[in-house]
Amino acid sequence: MQRIGILTGGGDCPGLNSVIRAVVRKGYNEGYEIIGIKNGWKGLIEADFTKLDLTSVSGILPKGGTILGTSRTNPYKKETDLEKLKQNFKNLELYALVAVGGEDTLGVAARLIKDGITNIVGVPKTIDNDLSCTDYTFGFDTAINIATECIDRLHTTAESHHRIIVVEVMGRHAGWIATSAGIAGGADVILIPEIPIDIDEVCNLIKKRHNRGKTFSIIVVAEGAKFKEGSLITQEEKLDEFGHVRLGGIGDIVAKEVEKRTGFETRVSVLGHIQRGGSPTAFDRILGTRFGIKAVELIKQKKFGRMVALSGNKIIDVDINEATKELKTVDMELYNIAKEFFG
């Protein structure tokens, strides 16, 4: 019996368990044995795994997070880790591996393929929706639904207290969550990493709105948004294993600046990991399920080095190198729609 491994790496994400369940169910139907590698690439370095059968994936569909655990461990950080990983791939007698992750996890997969661990297929995951070559990643739909509900709830307080509320959402390099939840929640200004913040412009929009009789406003800001060049405002810079800055705090800075410049009472609400937690939406469960099934089909067809993807309403497969080459930033057509409602 050929053995398939599956791992989930990077930030946890609603819908991961639907992929695991689909890989196990489809894998068994096709006659494969499935093992779950624990905690992303870390599990393959440490040979930490668990056998997955139909019982292990029973009842996990509505659960958030990942039953396999995750980590941001990068095996390319340490030569010895990489050697251990390669050795364990052999020792565990893996015929193929399904790597479920975002740009970092799949970037490692692409490098491993080049380094001779060829039998890998990728499944795109991230609430940020910033992976190329796929229209959507699972997790994003859940995140924007949570963020939209939060914006709705924050409207209540903003309106009753005549305040401005700055809502900080996730979105490291791309403002998909901010733009989408901002449109759905009726934000009055949306700030994203793709467009440097001009704080004067933000304040003018808010003042314009208040001049026409509105006494409250909602500003949605993506955590990765940055001020225009020349700004004196600085952010703390702690790095993770992939060299990414640990974000968070831009909402606070925007709130202080807006209050100072407009004189309107301002509060901030940082949604943080709430956006990544809890049960996935039906859309994310279905997408994760379709991705998982396709991943096993690719293995069966020996189509390695591919990433499953959504194109329109079809599940396709794309070159994993293409998918990890550059990030998919916000479509300006969508952002321009949001802008019609600013101020």
- Contact residues toward ligand F6P (CB under 6 A) are 10-11, 102, 126-128, 170-172, 223, 246-247, 276
CB of 275 to ligand F6P, least distance (A): 7
Q: How far apart are CA 52 and CA 48, in angstroms?
A: 13
| Residues constituting the chain | 343
Nearer to ligand F6P, 172 or 294 (CB): 172
CB of 49 to ligand F6P, least distance (A): 23
CB of 272 to ligand F6P, least distance (A): 8
Closest residue to ligand F6P in the complex (CB): 170
Nearer to ligand F6P, 27 or 171 (CB): 171
Nearer to ligand F6P, 276 or 285 (CB): 276
Q: Which of 12, 104, 128, 188 is catalytic?
A: 128
CB of 234 to ligand F6P, least distance (A): 18
Secondary structure of 213-262 as H, E, C letters: CCCCEEEEEECCCCECCCCCCCCCCCECCCCCECCCCHHHHHHHHHHHHH
Nearer to ligand F6P, 11 or 124 (CB): 11
CB of 11 to ligand F6P, least distance (A): 4
Active site residue 128: yes
Who contacts 135 (Cβ-Cβ below 8 Å, separation ≥6)? 309, 310, 311, 312
Q: How far apart are CA 208 and CA 214, in angstroms?
A: 9
From residue 195, give the alpha-carbon distance in Å to each of 22, 191, 238. 38, 7, 23
Nearer to ligand F6P, 19 or 96 (CB): 19
Count other Cβ atoms within 10 Å, centred on residue 156: 11
Q: How far apart are CA 182 and CA 176, in angstroms?
A: 9
- Parallel, antiparallel, or unpaired: how do β-strands 164-169 and 266-270 relate? parallel
Confirm if 127 and 143 have CB atoms less than 8 A apart: yes
DSSP state of 95: S
Tokens linked to 163 = 């305040």
CB of 130 to ligand F6P, least distance (A): 8
CB of 238 to ligand F6P, least distance (A): 10
Q: How far apart are CA 270 and CA 285, in angstroms?
A: 26
* Cα–Cα nearest to 125, from 6, 265, 264: 6
Count other Cβ atoms within 10 Å, centred on residue 149: 13
Q: What angle do CA 271, 273, 279 make, to 5 degrees?
A: 105
Nearer to ligand F6P, 97 or 174 (CB): 174
Q: How far apart are CA 55 and CA 73, in angstroms?
A: 29
Nearer to ligand F6P, 27 or 193 (CB): 193
- Would you name the residues annotated as active-site residues? 128
